[in-house]
Amino acid sequence: MGYLRHLECTHCHAQYSPDALHNLCARCGKVLFPRYDLERVRAEVSRDEFARREPTMWRYRELMPINDPANIVTLGEGMTPLLPLTEVGRRLGLRRVHVKEEGLNPTGSFKARGLSAAVSKAKELGVRVASMPSAGNAGSAAAAYCARAGIELFLVMPADVPHVNQVECDVCGAHTFLIRGLINDAGRSLRARGREQGWFDMSTLKEPYRVEGKKTMGYELAEQCGWSLPDVIIYPTGGGTGIVGMWKAFEELEALGWIGSHRPRMVIVQAAGCAPMVRAHREGREHAEPWQDARTVAAGLRVPEAIGDYLILQAVRESGGTSYAVTDEEILADMRELAGAEGLFACPEGAATYSALKALVRDRLVAADERVVLFNTGAGMKYVDLVRPTLPTFEPAHPPEALRA
Ligand SMILES: *Cc1c(COP(=O)(O)O)cnc(C)c1O
Ligand SMILES: [Zn+2]
Domains along the chain? 82-108+208-386 (3.40.50.1100)
pLDDT computed for residue 343 by the predictor: 98
Band the pLDDT of 195: cuts 50, 70, 90.
Answer: confident
pLDDT computed for residue 403 by the predictor: 66
* 215 to 25, 137, 160, 242: CA distances (angstroms): 20, 18, 29, 7
pLDDT computed for residue 190 by the predictor: 87
Q: Is 139 a pocket residue for ligand 1 (Cβ < 6 Å)? A: no
CB 115 within 8 A of CB 109: no
Q: Is 164 a pocket residue for ligand 1 (Cβ < 6 Å)? A: no
Mutational pocket test of ligand 1: of 102, 301, 307, 323, the residue with most ligand atoms within 8 Å of the beta carbon: 301
pLDDT computed for residue 1 by the predictor: 60
Q: Is 237 a pocket residue for ligand 1 (Cβ < 6 Å)? A: yes
pLDDT computed for residue 397 by the predictor: 73
351, pLDDT greater than 90 = yes
The alpha carbons of the chain give a radius of gyration, in whole angstroms, of 21
Smallest CA-to-CA distance from 209 within 296, 137, 120, 79 is with 120
Order across the sheet with 32-36: list the strands.
15-16, 4-9, 32-36
Q: What are phi and psi of 279, to 5 degrees?
A: -60, -45
36 three-class SS: strand
pLDDT in tens, 197-229: 999 999 988 999 999 999 999 999 999 999 999
Please identify, by atom number, the ligand 1 atom nearest to the C-alpha of residue 378: 13
pLDDT in tens, 163-180: 999 999 999 999 999 999
CB 357 within 8 A of CB 350: no
Provide the mean pLDDT of the chain. 95
The Å distance, Cα 43 to ligand 1 centre, comes to 35
Q: What is the mean pLDDT of residues 387-395?
A: 87
Smallest CA-to-CA distance from 205 within 138, 272, 125 is with 138
pLDDT in tens, 280-330: 999 999 999 999 999 999 999 999 999 999 999 999 999 999 999 999 999
Q: Is 109 a pocket residue for ligand 1 (Cβ < 6 Å)? A: yes
The Å distance, Cα 351 to ligand 1 centre, comes to 12
DSSP label of 106: G
